Chain A
Amino acid sequence: MSLSLLAPGALALGLLVALPLLAHLSWQRPRDRVAFGAMLLMERVVKRIQRHRRVKDPLIFALRALALLALALAAAAPQWVRAGVLPDVGGSGRVVVLLDRSLSMKMADGGASVFAHAVAKATAQVQALPAGTRVGLVAVDGQAVALTPSLTEDRATVVAALGALVPGSASTDLGAGFREARRLLAGDPGEVLLYSDEAGANTVSAARPELQRLLAAGAAVLPQPVREGAPNNVVIRAAIYGDGLEGGQVTLQIAHFGPEPTEVACEVVLPDGQAVPIFVALPADGEATAQVTVPREAEGGVGQARCEDAALPDDDTRYFHLPHVGASRVLVVDGDPGDSPARSEVYFLEKALAPWGGGQTGVTADVVPPSGLAKLDKTKHRLVFLANVGDLRGVGGRLVDFVRGGGSVVLSMGSNVAPRVYNDELSALLPAPLRGVRSLAAREEAGVPLQTPTSAQGLLAPFAASGRAGFGRVRAQRVMTLDPYADTDEVRTWLRFEGGAPALVEKQVGRGRVLLWTSSFDFDWTNLPVQAVFMPLIQAVVAELGADGGGRAERVDAEVGGFAVVPLPGSGPEPEVFDPAGRLVSTTRQGGALRFPVDQAGAYRVAITDGPVTGWVAANLPFAESDVRAPESIERAEVDLDPGVFTEQVELGGWLLGLALACFALSAWLARAGGSA
């Protein structure tokens, strides 16, 4: 809405407003004196008139000034440009119906869905178009589809196509819809009737370039109202498992798009089927955070959080990743029970795995002597620590099978370790044959420090942000040396001592992994157990090697309507992908990853045939569709691009002239009616 003046110079006539003021100032007292016997009555008259004048005189002055201003404005020929005027439909004879069938259109609205309203209105509009009008139909969600190959006068076809449409679960790409509409119009002028709730924070802004092209081609986009009630929806914006190595909480971030506060019943369902209910109070048009404590033992995989919301049930479930929680899957073989904690590898390992004690959080490891290796349970244990174990008779083959089957082993050295025994029993697991113990410094000396690692991936991921310098404070007086080896796809050296001696070496064996620490986990050979890097390093080892599948299961998030890309293991058979319903999904290879389309929300499982799960994909619906409020509008964007559209010019000169005359008449009547004194 704007105002323009064709003859702004005429506003100078506004100076006439000074005339009534001058007239008032130039008023003079009369000279005649009249002896009057009824002054009692005259005083009453004056009092009464003055009561009126206190209100009336300023009113008369204002009316006269307003009249003069109105005259001056009328002379300036003002025009009022009124916005928001939608033209009648069908005037161009070429119409494209653009129907939004995205997820948000499923929102309940007055007993039906917004989509149902849109279809009904579009159908009625098509049937009401003037005879001879050529019509096309485009359906749009994440992509646009022209349901008529070209514009047609066969309305029955268009109406039938409208009736066959169903809403989907994808986001809204209005730009694609405009592009398809422009193609149907073949670059000629026409009208695009848009039936969309325009929901989503960026739905409109993303469509602006195509909208501009459409307008430039001479077409007009006429948004049609599709929603009857106020937008309202509850959606779980995020569900994230966190806090601690083992155990913790799932944090739910729940958004509410509605005018009234509400309370919803929610539930977190873990991968093993455990359900944790919760009620969440939500503010109007706001968010709330809720936390659900995960039981001490829970299977890893993809869990789901869901809230009851009748407005848009499709987006009420959010899928999230959950690691294997709580089960005592770590077996520590204590090869050197020390006479004091400082001489006990197990003491330091237990402290690193459960810093606050096993009664709260963390991993409570099963600790056994070397003979206890017979208790190794492949279905339970995922990781075995061999801490300074010297006696490996009869268990080598068992360990190799364990690793090849997907388990992992961490070897730490010490005075009990005999290189010959290890080379004999565990040759398949060692990244290189053990050569012998090498003294780097005297016991009373500080020892040789570790090199600060240059990368922070995999096992060193906890040090990505900071803490890598702490490795430089780890010193060793003795190490187990290895025969020369080279890093390959299967062997990787994570840490080295100054001088180049290997410190932490990993080897992929079958579906499992072996990690070799060439020094000890107690004070015999090194100061590692009391360094800041010890605890996060051990926990990262458990998280990486102790996971299902003998290695870390890849955890990938994806959005319905898009693609998921899952990194592949470095070696071994190529896994397959199964959708939430268990059906095999067709995939393509993209470098070292598998790529596949995500067409439904839920947990996609990546697994080797008859083998462990190597990855999980948590697929969720696009959040943008859940924000049903439509913060922007196509109509406004269209006005921004073409200010002349949807406007009507109104000449105000006549109205102002009438106003001036009315003001003059009213002021004259007021002046005449009450008199003055």
Chain B
Amino acid sequence: MTVTPLLFLLPGVLFFAVYVVIPIFQSFQISLYDWDGLGEATYVGLENYSELVGDRAFEISLWNNVKWLVLYLLAIPAGLFIALFLNQTVAGIRLYKSLFFFPFVLSQVVVGLVFSWFYLPREGLLNAVLGFFGAGSINVLGDPTLATYGIIAAGLWPQTAYCMILYLTGLNAVDPEQIEAARLDGAKGRHMLWYVVIPQLRPATFIAFVVTIIGALRSFDLISIMTNGGPFGSTRVLSFYMFEQALSEYGFRMGYGSAIAVVLFMIMLVFIGYFLWSMWNEERQSGH
């Protein structure tokens, strides 16, 4: 047993503990207190959690998180479709590929701004197009039933590009001999895609799934730029609501914010658990 590996690990472990692990447990602890972040904290047990149960704003945020998680996954098939479409050799394909990848290079803030202008009720491009076809104008971001979907659509734009690039590299690794063999056996079109190509893209799909889930849970910046949680709180997600309750201009409820953070952490834990399990599985299989 030598100490060298431990010494090499030490800085990483230290930072990870100070900035990630210990704060997680601190959040658990703070969520049991009523604390304004300034004065004395009072222990209230699980009161913050029982308040969450009856809090309609929390319920809306939770449902919005679910919408984000489900709809954001659309980026995976959309990215695959574009990747398949671009995976051919025609003149200038590199240019087309980079054009499709372009939105991922933009900052989320820019994407949010561009889309909020696109959605503007009077001058926006969307309503100009709708008006051209004689449809009435809609105010996507001002309508509580539409606003969340409007923001998700904005988020899908760069996320699709991300999935596309993952699949493009994945397609390079598809074994041409297997394609050839399948073709000889009479597979084509849908069957070829489903039974031959997609199974070989499994690693790319796994990564695309991971980054999309993470992307869906990191929707904070788009929401903050496009609607600021409004109209009247209808586009909040848990992370935004937590920020509002604990850290924003009017937020002085550290305990309540921490309780929201704990719930968000639990949701993430489901996915993290799944990722860890499937990675472990993969390693075990390849170990044989």
- Do A and B bind? no
